[in-house]
Structure 1
Amino acid sequence: MPEISFKVSSRTMRMIGRQNVSSQFVAINELVKNAYDADSPNVTIDFTEGTLNGRGQIIISDSGSGMDLETIVNKWLTIGTDNKEREPMSPNGRVRTGAKGIGRFALDRLGEVSTIETFYDPDSSGIQLSIDWRKYNDSTEGFEGIKHSYEYIDNHLKITGTKIIIDNLRDTWNQEDMQELYEDLSFLIPPLQPEHMQFDMEITSGDFPEINGKIEPATHDNAEILLESTVSQSGEITHELHHKSGLSVTSVLQWRNLFDPPLLFDIGPSCGTAKVSLRIFIGPEGRKLSTVNVRDTAFRKYLKSFRGIRIYRDGFLVKPYGLKNNDWLGLAPRKIRQNQGVIQAGLGDYRLSNHQIIGKVDISRLYNPLLEDRTNREGLIDNNAFKDLRKYLMECIGFVEMQRQIIEASKIDSEEEDNPRDVIEKAKKRSRKTKNHTTSNSKTTKANDNGTDKPKSDVDPSTSESSDPLKDTQSFPTGNSNADNNNIEDASELNSQLDKVIEASERLINENDMLRTLSTIGISAVTLSHELKADILNLNIARKIIIMEISKTNFEVDMLNKQTDSIYHSVGRMSAWTELILRRTQVSRRKMANDFISNTINDIMQNFINSSAGQNITINYQEIGEARKIKFRPIDLESLIVNLLSNAIKSLKKSSNQPKFINIIVDYSTDVIIRVEDSGLGIRRYGNLLNSEEMKTIFLPLTSYSEEDGTGMGLSIVKSICDDNKWSIEAVAENEYSGATFITTIREIE
C-alpha cells in the first residue's frame, strides 16, 4: 500500500513564532530564561539608540555555557526538542525553565533578522549564526528547505556565553514600553532568591538612559507580617510567621485537615510540594502603617506595582498570576463580602485584600509535574493540581488573618484608654468651670456698664498656670459692652450644647450598661436552662400526681407530702433565678458603692447555688488577707462574676472530672485580686488545650471555643467591664484541677 506524509510549510514558523508569543515582553522574557538555563550568572538587555523608532537593535548577552555546532544543529535549530525534559537540571544545578523547545522563536517576534554569536570554550573559536526570518514568509518553500549561514569567529576575549543581536525590529520601544519591560523583568526573578539561583539582569537604552542599570527586585523590609510556609509531598503543612514586633509563631498541620470533614487518610495535595512567602502591608491606602510613612510616594508606588501573589517555577515568573489587575485568588471580592476590621470581626472572619499582600509561590517542574502550562505559555491549566495549589494558598492567607487578629487583640490588652465615665466627669467639670467663669464675667460687664472701674488682673497671662483652653480664650471683659455681651451669649450657647452632649453620652453609657446586663442575664439563662426546664417539668408532674391522689377516696398522705416538697424545691430554684434577674436590673446597682466585694459575690453565689441545686457542683468562697471596702459599681462586679460562673458551670456539666467544684478566692494582700477556678475541662478547642497565642483571642467579641456553639459574648463582656474600670484580667487554659482559671485584678479608686 502506498504511503504519504505531512509536509510542513515555511509559514508554520510564523504560527509558532510571531503568533504564538503573545507580546514583545514575553519574547524578551523567553530569551532571558534561555540565558538562565545556560547557567549564566547575568544577562544584559541593550536597546541601542533608535529603538524608539524601530531602527535600532536589541542585543541580549550572557556569560553562560554557550553552544558548539552540534548543540546548535541538534538542539537549538531542532523544533520541539525534549532535551530539557530529559535533562531538567543544568550542569550547575539549576532547574531549566524551558520545556516545549519553542522559546528561540521569540526572536521572530522581536525582529526580522537575528545574529547569534556563541562561545562554548574559552580556548576555541566561537560560532556566528545568521537568521533571516523573512525567508519563512514564502509559503511555497518547504520548512526544512530554508537554510541559514554560519561561520567561525575568533574568541580573542577567551569567554563563554551567547550574544543575540536583533535587527529590523517589529515594535517601537517608547519610554512606557521600557518601563513596562523593566517591571516585567523585575518580577521575573523573585526576591529572596537562593544563592545557587543568583541571576543578575541589567538593562540599557540609548534612547532612555535614565532607565539604565541593574534590575533590582523590590525589598520587603517594611512588611508588618512575614509568612514562610511549605507543604510536603506527604501533606504536612508548616507555617512560620514573624511579626515586626519580634513575635514568631510556628504551626504544623496536615493537608487532610483542611477538608470538612477531614479526609480519612494522610495524603498530600495533587499539586505536589510548594513553598509560599507572604509579606503583609497594613494600611497602604491611607490607613495607619506602623513601619512606613504612607506619604512616601516611592513606597506607595512600590505597593501598587508589586502587590499580589505571583507564581514562580524554578525561579521564574509564571504569567499572569499576581500581575496588574490579576487577583487570581479572588481576595478583593472576598474582602468586600466580609469587610470588618481586624478587631470588629469575629475570630476567623477578618479578611486581607489583594492590595495588602506581596507574595510568591515557588514550584518546580521536577516536583510539580501536574501543574502544566497552557499552550500559549500564559498561565497554568486549571486542573485538580491547580485547585489544590489555590486551596493551600488560601490556608496560608487564612492563617495570617487569624494570627493578625490574635496579635491586635494582645496589643489592645496593653493599651490604656480613658474610662468613658471619666471622660464624662472631666467634661462636666469643664462645663461647670466655664459656666462659673461666664457668670462672673457677666456680672463684671454689668458693673462696667454702670460706670464702675474695670478689674485689673494681677496675674501675668504669660505666667499663668492655667492650661484650660476655655478659660484662656474667654478673656472677659473687653471694655466693649456689646462685644462682651455677645461673647457671654456665645459661651452660654456653647455650655448649653456641651450639656446636651454630656447628657446624650451618659444616656448611651447607661444603655450600654443595660445591654451588657441583659446579655449577661441571657448567658446565665442558657447556663441554667436545663435546670429551669427540669423544674417546670417537675411542677407539671407534681401537679398531675396531686390531682390523681386527691381524686382517690383513700389518698396517700406521704405521696402528697413528697410532691409538695418537690414543688417547694422547684419553686425555690425558680425564685432564686428570678432574684438573680431582678437584682441585676435595678438602677441602684449601676451607682458607685463603697462596700465589701464579698457582699456582692456571696449574693451571686447563693443565687447560683440555689438555681443549680442538684447538679452536684460545689461553689466555695475564700478570702486571703484582711478584707476592706473598695469603691466599685455592683452591676460591673455582678456581670463579671455571673459570666465567669456561667462559663465554669457549662464546663463542669460537660466534664466527667470528680469532684465538681468552683473556687472563688479574693486576695487582699496587695491589690484586690479575684480568682475564679473550676475543675472542668479547661479552655479547649476540638479537645485540645489552647496555646498561648490562641488564648489571646478568647476575649474577642463573637469568639467561642465551645463545641456547643456558645454566644461568644460572655468573656467579651468581662473584658469590656475590666477595660472600663481599668481592671485587668488573665486566663489560664488548664489549672492544677484540669479546669480553667480567670484572675481579675481590681484597680482601687482613690
Structure 2
Amino acid sequence: MVKVPFDVDAYTARLIGRENVSKLEGAIIELVKNAYDADASKCIIYFDDVTKTLILADNGVGMTEDIIMNNWMTIGRSSKKQHFMSKEGRIQTGAKGIGRFALDRISNSVHMLTANQNNTLEWIIDWEEFSDDKKISETYAELYESNLSILEFIRGVSNNSIFESIIDNQFRSTGSIFIMSNLREEWNEKVLKNIRKSLSLMIPPTMEQIFEIYLFDNRINEKEAYIKSEHEDSYDYKIDFRTIEDDAKVEIMIHRNEFDFRGKILDVMRNGRFTKSDEEYFGDKPIVLVKHLNELVSKDYENVVMEIGGFQGSLYFFKNSTTKMDTQKYYYKDFTGRKQLNEKFGGIKIYRDNFWVRPYGERESSNYDWLLLSNRKGKSPAAVSHATGAWRVNADQMYGQIYISRLNLHLEDQSNREGIVESIQFKAFREILVNIIKQFEEDRQYVIRKLRSLYEQEHEAEKLERELKEKIKEQEKRDAQNRTRKKKSEKDGRSYKKVEETPEEQIPLSKIKPVVAQKDSAIEVLTNENKMLRAMATTGISINTYFHEITTLINDLHEELYEVQASLENKNISEAIEGVKQASKYSNKFQQWYEVTVKSVKSDKRTRKKWEIDLLIEALCASWQSVLTSERVDIQFIGTDEGLLYRCFPFEIESVVNNLISNSISAFDSVCQQYNRKILVELKKLNKGFKIIYSDKGPGLPDKYKKNPREILIPLETGKTDGTGLGMWIVDTIVKDYNGEVNLSKNSLQKGFRVEVSFE
C-alpha cells in the first residue's frame, strides 16, 4: 500500500481567496482589519497617480519570520484562531487565514516590508505564479532580511511629501507596508470616493480614539485624507442597550430628544397629565428598563437565547418629515436642515470587534432592512397618534450600530464575509432587537397620544365645530316640524304655534354653514383618498398572491420573443409566425391579469355615480375565470333578473369581490385535500340597495375562527402563514362606508365559506 498525499492546484487556492474577497472595497477593508489586529494606531492607504501604485502601511507590531513562514504562507492557517487577543487587548477580527488574498484582488505584484522588534524582512510575490499549470507546492514567494527603513522603502514610489512625513515621524520602529503594482483595475476619482465612503462606514465612532485611517493620493493633505466615522447628533429618539448579569438580561435606555415645550413644560406636564418621572425623561434623564432575554423572544427561541452571548448598541429614530400643524400639536423640535439620515448613514449595522459586518444596514442591498421593520409597519400601519392602533417604526426612520465580537460563537460570519450564518441563535438575536425597538415605539406612542389629548382639550374651536353641527341639526329639525305643522294647520283651517328657538339656540346659519361645509369637503377629500388606498391595497394583495403566475407569464413571453428573434435571424419565417402567435396568446393572458388587478383603480372607476352592478360584478368574475383554469377555480355568477343601478365607486365594489375570490383561491391552494373548487357569486336586490351572497366549497374558516367568525374582520388577523390580514378588514371597512353589513354567521358550522354582504 502506498500513501498518496493530496495536493492542490495553485490556481484553485487563488480562487478560494477571490471567492471570499470579491470586491475591491472588501479587499481594502480586509487589509485594514489586519492592521487593526496588529495593534496599529494608524493605517494609511496611498494611491500614487504617477507611478500607478498603491501603498498600504500600518505602524503595528510587524511580522516575524516564524509568522510569515508558518501562518502568512499557509493558506487557511491563522495565528488568530487560538490567540485572538492582541497584546494591546484588541479582539482580533481575522481567523480564516485567507485575508491575505485581498492583495491578489488588488494587484498582480506585491512587495512587503515588515519590521518587528528584532529585525526587518522583505517579502515579494507575483500572483501570476499561481497559474493553472502549477501545484501549490510549486509556487514560491521571496523572503529575506532587509536593512531598509520604512521611509527608504517607499522612496521612488511616493510623490506626496505629506504622506512621507507621516511615515517618517510615526512609522520608525515597527509596522508593515505593502507596495502593490500592476493594479487590476483603474483607480480614478470614483474608485477613491467609493473606498473613502466604505471606510467611513466600516468603523464606528468609538474607533477613532484608538485607530486612525487615512486615504491619500498625490494631491491631498493630512486633514483631507483622514477618514472620519459618519455620525449624527440630530435624532428624535436614541435607544442604548447592553447585556448585563452574565448576558441573561438586557438594560435598555431610551432617550427622548424629539420634543421642545418652548418654555411651557410645567403647564404641559400638568395639563397633559404626565408623571413627575416624565418631566425628567423630557430632560436629560433616560428611561431605564431591564428585561430578561426570555421576555424579548417567543417560545421558539427560549432555549437558545443564552447561546447568543453579550452585545450592545445604539439605535436612532428620526422623522423624515412633518407638518406645521403636527409640529404645533406635538411640540416637535425644529429639525430644519436635517438631511435624510438613512441616505447618509444607511440603516442598522452590525459591527464585530469594531468592524462593520457587511451588508447589514447597507443601502440598496437586500439586507438594508434585515430586521424586517417595513414588514412590521405594513402589518400595523396605524399612525403614532392613533387611539387604539399599534404604531410601528419604518426601516427608513432608523439607523444605528450593534456591537458583537468573535466571542459570540453562535453568530458566526459566513465564509464569503457577506453576513452572518442564519442560525437559530441569529434569528433569536433579531427578535430580541426588534423587541428592544418595540420598547421605544410604545414610549413614543404614549407621549404622542397624551399630547394629542392635550391639544384637543386646549383648542375649543374644534370642540365648538362639533357643537355647531349638533345645533344646526336641531334647528333644521325644528324648521321641518314647523313646516309640517303649518301644512297641517292650513289644511284644517286653524292657526298654528311656531316652535321658537331659545336665545341660546339661535345661530347665524349664514355664517356657520359655509365653515362647516368647507370642513366637510376637506373630510370628504381625505375619505376618498382613503378609499383609493384601500383599493390599491387590494390590488397589491392580488398581485402578491398571484406573483408566481404573473412572473411565469412574463418569462414565457420574453422567451417566446427571443425565439421569434432567433427564427428571424435564421430566416425561418414560418417558425417566427408561430412564435408571434404564441407570444400574442401570452400577451392576451397578461392583459387579462391586468384587467383583474391594476385596471380596477383606473380613473374611470374612481367616479361616484350610478353603476349597473350586475354588469360590473359579472365582468369581474369573467375576468378572474379567464386568467385561471377551470381546474384551478370555477366561478359562477347569478345576477338579478331586472338589473340593478346603485350609486357607488365601482372600484370599491370590485375590491370586495376581489378580496373574497383571492381568499378562496388561497384556501383551495393551501390544502392537499381535493375540494370542489367552485365559487358562487349571487346578487340580490334589496329595497334600498343590494346583497352579494358569496360562497365556496373550500376548507372553510380555520377552527380558531369557528366560534366567532367576525374575528377575521379585525385588521392584521389572518389564518394564513403568508397572509396580510388586510383583505377581510378592507371588505368590512368598505361595506360600513355604505351603511351595510357583513354577515358571517353561516360559517360556524357548515363546511366551505359563506358570507352575505349587504349594501344599503
Q: Does 2:255 match 1:242?
A: yes
Structure 1 residues 396, 56: CA separation in 2 closer, same or farther (over 3 Å shift)? same
Distance 1:120 1:266, change over 3 A: same
Whole-angstrom CA distance in 2 between matches of 1:133 and 1:420: 79
Cα distance, 1:336 vs structure 2: 2.5
Aligned match of 1:189: 203
Secondary structure in 2 matching 1:80: coil
The one of 436, 459, 483 equivalent to 1:396 is: 436
Q: 1:284 to 1:97 in 2, by over 3 A?
A: farther
Seen in structure 2, the aligned counterparts of structure 1 residues 69 and 344 have a Cα distance that, compared at 3 Å, is same
1:332/1:151 CA distance change after superposition, 3 Å: same
Please point out which of 436, 460, 464 is paired with 1:419: 460
Tell me which moved more, 383-392 or 167-176: 167-176
Report the CA distance between 1:110 and its aligned residue.
0.3
**In structure 1, C-alpha distance between the alignment counterparts of 2:61 and 2:200, rounded to whole Å:** 24
Q: Letter of the aligned partner of 1:224 in structure 2?
A: D
Distance 2:31 2:123 in 1: 16
> For each residue in 1:36-82, what CA deviation from the matched residue of structure 2 results, as whole angstroms up to 9, or x when unmatched?
000011211111115xxxx6111111111111222221222222224
Give the superposition deviation at 1:205: 2.4
Structure 1 position 230 matched with structure 2 position 267:
no
CA RMSD between the two structures: 3.4
From 285, 297, 317, the counterpart of 1:280: 317
Q: Which moved more, 1:205-214 or 1:130-139?
A: 205-214
Q: Contact 1:255 / 1:266 at 8 angstroms: preserved in 2?
A: no
**What secondary structure is seen at the aligned counterpart in 1 of 2:400?**
strand
Work out the CA distance in 2 between the residues paired with 1:402 and 1:411. 14
Partners of 1:75 and 1:504 lie apart in 2 by: 79
2:33 matched residue in structure 1: 33
Matched, 1:335 2:329: no
Query: After superposition, where does 1:268-667 map in structure 2 within 5 Å?
Result: 268-283=305-320, 290-291=332-333, 293-296=335-338, 299-300=339-340, 302-325=341-364, 326-344=368-386, 346=388, 349-366=390-407, 368-412=408-452, 415=455, 417-420=458-461, 424=465, 499-502=513-516
Identity %: 31
Match of 2:682 in 1: none
Does the C-alpha gap of structure 1 residues 324 and 409 become closer, same or farther in structure 2, counting only changes over 3 Å?
A: same
Q: What per-residue deviation string (whole Å, max 9, x for no partner) do you get for residues 491-535 of structure 1?
A: xxxx968633336769999xxxxxxxxxxxxxxxxxxxxxxxxxx
Amino acid in structure 2 at the alignment position of 1:204? F
Rounded Cα–Cα distance in structure 2 between residues aligned with 1:240 and 1:142: 54
Q: Residue 69 of structure 2 aligns with which residue?
A: 73
- Mark the CA change 1:187 to 1:504 in structure 2 (over 3 Å): closer, same or farther: closer
Given that 1:286 and 1:294 are in contact with CA atoms closer than 8 Å, whether structure 2 keeps it comes out as no
Distance 1:424 1:391 in 2: 46
Change (3 A) 1:418 1:410: closer
Q: Given residue 16 of structure 1, which amino acid in structure 2 is its aligned partner? A: I
Contact 1:236 1:268 in 2 (8 A): no
Instruction: Find out whether 1:107 has 2:119 as its counterpart.
Output: no
CA-CA distance at 1:280 after TM superposition: 1.1
The residue type paired with residue 355 of structure 2 is F
- Distance change (3 Å), C-alpha of 1:210 and 1:501: farther
Tell me what 1:254 maps to.
292
Question: Which position in structure 2 is the counterpart of 1:455?
Answer: none
Distance in 2 separating the partners of 1:142 and 1:381: 30
Partner of 2:11: 11
TM-score, normalised by the number of residues in structure 2: 0.52
Q: Which residue number in structure 2 is paired with residue 161 of structure 1?
A: 175
Q: CA deviation at 1:194?
A: 8.8
Q: Which residue of 1 aligns with 2:114?
A: 118
- 92 and 168 in structure 1: CA distance in 2 versus 1, 3 angstrom threshold: same
Equivalent pairs counted in the alignment come to: 431
Distance 1:293 1:421, change over 3 A: closer
Rate the CA distance shift 1:149–1:345 in 2: closer, same or farther, 3 A.
Answer: farther
Structure 2 unaligned residues grouped into runs of 5+: 151-167, 258-281, 470-508, 524-714, 716-760
Structure 1 residues 409 and 163, CA, compared in 2 at 3 Å: closer, same or farther? same
Residue 191 (structure 2) pairs with residue 177 (structure 1): yes
Task: Answer yes or no: is the 8 Å Cα contact 1:111–1:170 preserved in 2.
Answer: yes
Query: How far, CA to CA, are the matches of 2:356 and 2:182 in structure 1?
Result: 28
1:107 deviation in Å? Answer: 0.0
Identify the range of structure 1 (416-425 vs 307-316) with the bigger mean alpha-carbon deviation.
Answer: 416-425
CA-to-aligned-CA distance 1:266-287 (integer Å, 9 cap, x gap)? 9844322211211111225889
Question: Aligned in 2, Cα 1:386/1:268: closer, same or farther, shift over 3 Å?
Answer: closer
**How far is the alpha carbon of 1:173 from its aligned partner?**
2.6
**2 CA distance for matches of 1:107 and 1:388?**
37
C-alpha distance 503-125 of structure 1, shift in aligned 2 (>3 A): closer
**Is the Cα contact below 8 Å between 1:305 and 1:324 reproduced in 2?**
no
Q: CA deviation at 1:104?
A: 0.8
Corresponding letter in the other structure for 2:289: S
Q: Which moved more, 1:271-280 or 1:239-248?
A: 239-248
Alpha-carbon shift at residue 172 of structure 1 (Å): 1.7
Deviation at 1:95, TM superposition (A): 0.1
Does the CA-based 8 Å contact 2:8-2:135 persist in structure 1?
no
Cα distance between partner residues in 2 of 1:43 and 1:508: 61
Report the CA distance between 1:304 and its aligned residue: 0.6
Is the alpha carbon distance of 1:11 and 1:507 closer, same or farther for their aligned partners in structure 2, counting shifts above 3 Å?
A: closer
Mapped to 2, the partners of 1:181 and 1:291 lie a distance apart of 35
Measured after TM superposition, the shift of residue 414 of structure 1 is 5.1
Tell me: CA distance 1:25–1:425, structure 2 relative to 1, closer, same or farther (3 Å). Answer: closer
**Which residue identity lines up with residue 249 of structure 1 in the other structure?**
I
CA contact (8 A) 1:234 1:268 kept: no
**Paired residue secondary structure (1:96):** coil
Tell me if the contact between 1:307 and 1:354 (Cα under 8 Å) persists in the aligned partners.
no
Contact 2:208 / 2:229 at 8 angstroms: preserved in 1? no
Distance 1:269 1:276, change over 3 A: farther
After superposition, give the CA deviation of every residue in 1:396-416 in whole Å (9 maximum; x if it has no partner).
Answer: 111111111122234345546
1:345/1:380 Cα in 2 relative to 1: closer, same or farther (>3 Å)? farther
1:616-653 deviation digits (Å, cap 9, x = unpaired): xxxxxxxxxxxxxxxxxxxxxxxxxxxxxxxxxxxxxx
- Counterpart for residue 144 of structure 2: 150
Q: Give per-residue Cα distances to partners, 1:361-397, cap 9 Å, x unaligned.
A: 111112x101112121111110111111101111111
1:432 maps to which residue? none
Cα separation, 2, equivalents of 1:112 and 1:162: 19
Change (3 A) 1:116 1:346: farther
Residues 498, 144 of structure 1: CA spacing in aligned structure 2 closer, same or farther, 3 A cutoff? farther
Distance in 2 between residues matched to 1:251 and 1:203, nearest whole Å: 42
Q: Write the distance in 2 (CA, Å) between the matches of 1:83 and 1:176.
A: 36
Structure 1 residues 689-748: Cα deviation after superposition (integer angstroms, max 9, x where no partner)? xxxxxxxxxxxxx9xxxxxxxxxxxxxxxxxxxxxxxxxxxxxxxxxxxxxxxxxxxxxx
Work out whether residues 304 and 425 of structure 2, in 8 Å CA contact, stay in contact via their aligned partners in 1: no
In 2, Cα distance between equivalents of 1:141 and 1:286: 68
